[in-house]
Amino acid sequence: MDPNQMQLLREIQQLEFVAIELTLYLDTHPDEQEPLRDYNQAAERLNQLKMQYERLYGPLAAYGVSTSKAPWQWSEQPWPWDINY
Amino acid sequence: MWIYEKKLEYPVRVTQPDIRMAKYLMAQYGGPDSELSAAVRYLTQRYTMPTNRTKGLLTDIGTEELAHWEIVGTMIYKLLKNVPPQQLHHAHLGGYFTEHDNAVYPVDASGVPWTAAYIQATGDPVTDLHEDMAAEQKARTTYEHLIRLTDDPGVKDTLKFLREREVVHFQRFGEALNEVQEELTRKKVF
């Protein structure tokens, strides 16, 4: 995987981790304002990064979440267990 | 409905094939306190939880456990990649090779296949959440054993991430248990 793609993927993983952690926290602390603000910021930035990644390297998700150029791009990029970090 | 995202939650770096470590990691892939058990346990128990918050938490942690199952599967896959059968035999994985070759099949570290008997769903939310907290502690302990069994810095790093998640999940389940107990007490009073 080229270094630019890897770097963007790592940024997405890091930001998504923030979103996962805050999701679980908010599940049991739904009234707290600050983590909610952080969650919304992370979600917005994460969506931007994913759109950028998909524009450059193809879809991260199928099932109607992301669009594909022709031919069908879903299986073009390596699967997660075949990536060398 | 679940949507698959074509990436790991956390990167998996493996320096070189290590059959012994792959075998030990099976504990967290198909053992009693494995990520598979965790995912199926929480995603099964969530239907009969009494509060929306707890249904949400079990759904979200259950989903994260599936991502962890993929991480552990990826580690095993990479540690066994291109290893010849003779070497698997020497690492006491000959029986495994006979049935599964280099495939990633859910057994525990001793080769016992995964079974739903590893998990419970009693319909009693207090009981189920106690099981969940215990399961997180057991998985944390298993990760600590696994971290001691490898010198590979990449494998150690990923295992430390997974260990830390067990601690966070334990914390969240404890909070959910408090909420459920308050809810049940409140219902009894009025």
Task: Give pLDDT tens digits for B23-54.
Answer: 999 999 999 999 999 999 999 999 999 999 99
Q: pLDDT value at position A46?
A: 98
CA gap A13, B168 in Å, rounded: 18
Instruction: Write the CB contacts of A81 (distance below 8 Å, at least 6 apart in sequence).
Output: B12, B70, B73, B74, B77, B78
Q: pLDDT value at position B92?
A: 80
Q: pLDDT value at position B110?
A: 94
Return the SS3 of A61.
strand
Q: pLDDT value at position B187?
A: 78
Interchain CB distance below 8 Å, B4 and A62:
yes
Round the average pLDDT of chain B to a whole number and report it: 95
Q: pLDDT value at position B190?
A: 57
Q: Could you tell me the maximum CA-CA distance found in chain A, to the nearest angstrom?
A: 46
The nearest CA of chain B is from the CA of A13 a distance in Å of 6
β partners of residue B5: A61
Burial class (CB in 10 A: 0-12, 13-18, 19+), B52: exposed
The proportion of chain B whose per-residue pLDDT surpasses 90, expressed as a percent, equals 88
What is the chain A residue with the closest CA to B158?
A: A85
Interchain CB distance below 8 Å, A21 and B168:
yes
Using pLDDT thresholds of 50, 70 and 90, give the confidence band for residue A1. confident
Using pLDDT thresholds of 50, 70 and 90, give the confidence band for residue B90. confident
Among candidates A13, A24, A30 on the partner chain, residue whose Cβ is nearest the Cβ of B168? A24
Listed range (A11-20, A67-76, B159-168) with the worst mean pLDDT: A67-76
pLDDT reading at B188 higher than 80: no
Q: pLDDT value at position B19?
A: 94
Query: Model pTM?
Result: 0.97
Interchain CB distance below 8 Å, A61 and B6:
yes
Q: What is the mean pLDDT of residues B125-145?
A: 98
Q: pLDDT value at position B186?
A: 86
**Amino acid present at B3:** I
Chain A residues whose C-beta is within 8 A of a chain B C-beta are 9-10, 12-13, 16-17, 20-21, 23-25, 27-30, 59-63, 65, 74, 77, 79-81, 83, 85
Please tell me if residue B73 touches chain A, with a CB cutoff of 8 Å: yes
pLDDT reading at A64 higher than 90: yes
Interchain CB distance below 8 Å, A28 and B172:
yes
Q: pLDDT value at position B189?
A: 65
